[in-house]
Structure 1
Amino acid sequence: MADPKHLHLTAFMRPVSLHTGAWRYPGSYPDANFNLKHLISFIQKLEAAKFDAFFMADHLAVLNMPVEALKRSQTTTSFEPFTLLSALSQVTSRIGLAATASTTYDEPYHIARRFASLDHLSEGRAAWNIVTTGNPESSKNFSQDEHMQHGDRYKRAREAYDIVTGLWDSFADDAFIRDQETGTYLDPTKMHYLDHKGPEFSVRGPLNIARPVQGWPVIVQAGQSEPGRQLAAETAEAVFCSPRDINAAKELYADIKGRTKAAGRNPEHLKILPAAMFIIGDSKEDAQAKRLKLDSLVHYDSAIASLSIVLGTDASGFDPDAPLPTDLPPTNASITARQGAEKLAAAENLTVRQLAQRFGGYSGLAFVGEPGAIAEEMKTWLEEQACDGFTVVFPYLPQGLDDVTQRLVPELQSLGIFRKEYEGKTLREHLGLPRPGNRFFEKAA
């Protein structure tokens, strides 16, 4: 009988919570995004719970939002990922360290060098999250008046991937002899010049650092568009995504895994890890009360603006403490988004205020309840091929993180679907991924 599948868990930690009210929740650390001592405590708790990785997203500009919303949100600013992860690599020994680097506004040589360095510093725990930077405000910080078009960004990303991975293969694993007696440090026959010339980049190489411990740091891809799915199928080893429910997740899972096989890759070597927020209570009612409390901390002025966008109509004149009107005017905005909001309001009996605060706080996939029930639900997702694990979003910190690591993880372990100990030292070993061979040196491991 085959061994049962096991969940993989990564922690979404930049910002420390995606919920805009998290920093105001009772007992939370309002400065957590910029407090190294807090961040060290978070990652050490995650490592003690045997999480696969600590994942840092990134933004290259302050988020484009009205100033009245901006002044109330902690989600737009944080440490630069590489600086922080380099520090955290020295106070941990097993947990993976995943960072975003944009192929739109960064050079492949810089990306290759930084990730190779992090992989060496952490003894094989680095992962690169490939993104194409969707925020149009970013262009203005990089001497460009116009933001690159969506399709062009993905073409550039695909070329950048080829260059970065090629640079990681600049040296054979045994290229650095370091023979003190003969005075030979490097075998030049085991060094490769990439000499890449393409539509976007011209890169000679070689990279001025030894081949990473993992061969290549783990490749993560974030995106659900058509080009994003194809890029994931061709390149990624883990996918960070945001399906709204299990049915959407199963469709995404089947599609990307099918594309991966069609691309000549083993689908088992790509892990799909939907983002989900976990709010844990002593009962479902207790957890729901925590969510309502959390959502209530989103200021109504910014919340109602978010709801107006979702509904495709100005909601500022609605009675905030009444149900959502059933006679909304026609809209040219997304019908699917509006119907989703209407369905949510009816299912949870939410007032306009509560619905607005939901969309103004965090409206993505969420598991809300007591730990045993949530663990069973996660098992269902795993067994029904909706995911290979989850990217965990914490509702508030430190309590939300403690609830997951101390209450939920033991339930998953008791179900036999999550590790009790790390089986290896590298992130590739945690995820069950092979170490890539070196394309330029046949004998490389």
Structure 2
Amino acid sequence: MSTTKRQLKLGAFLLHNGHHVAAWRHPEAPTDQNPFKLYQHLAQTAEKACFDAVFFADSVALTSGVGGLEPLTLLSALSAVTEKIGLIGTATTTYNEPYHVARKFASLDRISGGRAGWNLVTSDNAKEAANFGLSKHVPHTERYARAREFHQVVQGLWDSWEDDAIINDKLNGKQFDTQKLHPLHHQGEHFSVAGPLNVSRSPQGKPITVQAGGSEAGRDLAAETADVVFTAHPSIASAQAFYADMKTRTQKFKRDPDSLKIMPGLFPVIGRSQAEAEDKLQLLQNLVLPEDGLALLGRMIGNFDLSGYPLDEPLPELPLTQNGQQSRQALLTALAQGENLTIRQLYLRIAGGRGHFTLTGTAEMIADQMQEWFEQHAADGFNIMPPWLPGGLDDFATHVVPELQRRGIFRTQYAGSTLREHLGLAFPANRYTR
């Protein structure tokens, strides 16, 4: 049993019917047209298992199948039916304005008592552009330049109110100290924002910032600005290299390496035996529709239309994407070439984990691998990607979490009430008091 005092971090990444592309076809997948009851069950299941947070991705365009709900709306509702678990949602810096994002997440943070987190993305889905009056997607380099300034503005707005600015002095008729309220007066290349924000600070100071970029620009942005990085690595060697690189990069920005938590995605299929786990995965693999597999693969390798290529021949050589997920395109191209996979074999390979760490086996085997990654500095924790919902998360919470707790590497109860406390991150000093 491990005696380490360092504690594993866990996020529950809740995606539509589950992360497998055929999850919606699973025999036990719910077909209720009002999904909130399902999400309520999932959030409460994750909270009972002491997860750090639930996490919702987002896209402002239809990708494939039925899309998910708008994250801030959903997370606000979930905050009313949970007490401790963190609430992380995605908002793109490419098709939003900083004041909107700052206000919405600050509101969620206040509503939830300090449990909000913002997943900052730059949008890899080119289809989003047409929904915002643009004829083409914003180029990769420009998206990251905008994102850096966007983050600066949001952080500045979150510092508008010092922690003790609200005094509510009824006797003297003074609701807040005007000396502790600060306009931003930001003038930059992409934004002009006066401020101040009209939402005051929460018990955790300000929301957690999460990022998932794997390109050079994405890594630098995360090392400079993020509290948590979600990342995709299929092997411990690549995860260790990424982990070491990101921890080193934080020092370039005069940050403590431990102030950035690295949480790779993990796609677990759990059975009472290895055979049962493999049967569970094969059930989903048998349900993959070719058009769904092709759509997933085409989007992930740079928004390419693969419908005209033979399924049982190798992936054709494709130009490097300029506006998609550059790190994911490189990962999948290397996988296809390294193992000489056909298009069909490649989309089946990523149908569940989409290039993330994938484990199929017993709870003990999965806990073994998680512990190895954790103790060998490949991860500070994992963003759990259930194959289908609700069964995939139920299996993990019921079988894997107790095994991690038995080994002493995961909490048995929450020690604090805010997301920042769950993650072991310091309270952020307000820039005006610092």
- What is the TM-score normalised by the length of structure 1? 0.88
Tell me the alpha carbon deviations over residues 389-416 of structure 1, each in whole angstroms, 9 at most, x when there is no partner. Answer: 1000001112111110000100001111
Q: Give the corresponding residue for 2:325.
A: none
Q: Give the corresponding residue for 2:382.
A: 390
The alpha carbon displacement at 1:131 in A equals 0.7
Task: Tell me the amino acid that sits aligned with residue 42 of structure 2.
Answer: F
Q: Give the corresponding residue for 1:108.
A: 98
Q: Give the corresponding residue for 2:223.
A: 233
The within-5 A match list for 1:246-325 is: 246-303=236-293, 316=310, 318=312
The alpha carbon displacement at 1:313 in A equals 11
Task: Tell me the amino acid that sits aligned with residue 204 of structure 1.
Answer: A
**Is the CA contact (8 Å cut-off) linking 2:229 and 2:263 kept in structure 1?**
yes
* Structure 1 residue 194 corresponds to structure 2 residue 150: no
Q: Give the corresponding residue for 2:38.
A: 38
The alpha carbon displacement at 1:10 in A equals 0.2
> Equivalents in 2 of 1:370, 1:363: separation in Å?
21
Task: Tell me the amino acid that sits aligned with residue 340 of structure 1.
Answer: L
The alpha carbon displacement at 1:4 in A equals 2.9
The within-5 A match list for 1:8-407 is: 8-31=9-32, 34-63=34-63, 70=64, 73-74=65-66, 77-303=67-293, 316=310, 318=312, 331=317, 337=332, 340-341=335-336, 356-364=347-355, 365-407=357-399
SS at match of 1:116: helix
The alpha carbon displacement at 1:314 in A equals 6.6
The alpha carbon displacement at 1:341 in A equals 3.5
Q: Give the corresponding residue for 1:440.
A: 432
Gaps of 5+ in 1: 64-69, 319-324
> Equivalents in 1 of 2:151, 2:113: separation in Å?
22
Q: Give the corresponding residue for 2:421.
A: 429
**Identity rate, percent:** 45
- Shifted more, 297-306 versus 223-232: the winner is 297-306
The alpha carbon displacement at 1:128 in A equals 0.8
Task: Tell me the amino acid that sits aligned with residue 381 of structure 1.
Answer: W
The alpha carbon displacement at 1:246 in A equals 1.1
Q: CA, structure 1 residues 344+370, in 2 after alignment: closer, same or farther (shift >3 Å)? A: farther
Task: Tell me the amino acid that sits aligned with residue 358 of structure 1.
Answer: R
Task: Tell me the amino acid that sits aligned with residue 364 of structure 2.
Answer: G
Task: Tell me the amino acid that sits aligned with residue 385 of structure 1.
Answer: H
> Equivalents in 2 of 1:82, 1:305: separation in Å?
27
The alpha carbon displacement at 1:138 in A equals 0.9
Q: Look at both structures and tell me which one has the larger radius of gyration over its CA atoms.
A: 1
Q: CA, structure 1 residues 339+163, in 2 after alignment: closer, same or farther (shift >3 Å)? A: closer
The alpha carbon displacement at 1:139 in A equals 1.3
Aligned with residue 411 of structure 1, among 403, 415, 418: 403
In the alignment of these two chains, the number of paired residues is 419
Q: CA RMSD in A?
A: 2.6
The alpha carbon displacement at 1:352 in A equals 8.1
The alpha carbon displacement at 1:345 in A equals 7.9
Tell me the alpha carbon deviations over residues 303-328 of structure 1, each in whole angstroms, 9 at most, x when there is no partner. Answer: 3676799899976364xxxxxx7xx5
**Is the CA contact (8 Å cut-off) linking 2:114 and 2:204 kept in structure 1?**
yes
SS at match of 1:133: coil
Tell me the alpha carbon deviations over residues 128-183 of structure 1, each in whole angstroms, 9 at most, x when there is no partner. Answer: 11111121111111122232111111111111111111111111111112111111
> Equivalents in 2 of 1:308, 1:236: separation in Å?
29
- Shifted more, 270-279 versus 355-364: the winner is 355-364
**Is the CA contact (8 Å cut-off) linking 1:278 and 1:394 kept in structure 2?**
yes
**Is the CA contact (8 Å cut-off) linking 1:10 and 1:52 kept in structure 2?**
yes
Gaps of 5+ in 2: 320-328
Task: Tell me the amino acid that sits aligned with residue 259 of structure 2.
Answer: H
Tell me the alpha carbon deviations over residues 244-287 of structure 1, each in whole angstroms, 9 at most, x when there is no partner. Answer: 21111111111111001221100101100011111001122221
> Equivalents in 2 of 1:332, 1:426: separation in Å?
45
The alpha carbon displacement at 1:362 in A equals 4.1
> Equivalents in 2 of 1:329, 1:403: separation in Å?
35
Q: CA, structure 1 residues 305+215, in 2 after alignment: closer, same or farther (shift >3 Å)? A: closer
The alpha carbon displacement at 1:295 in A equals 1.1
Task: Tell me the amino acid that sits aligned with residue 29 of structure 1.
Answer: P
> Equivalents in 2 of 1:400, 1:181: separation in Å?
56
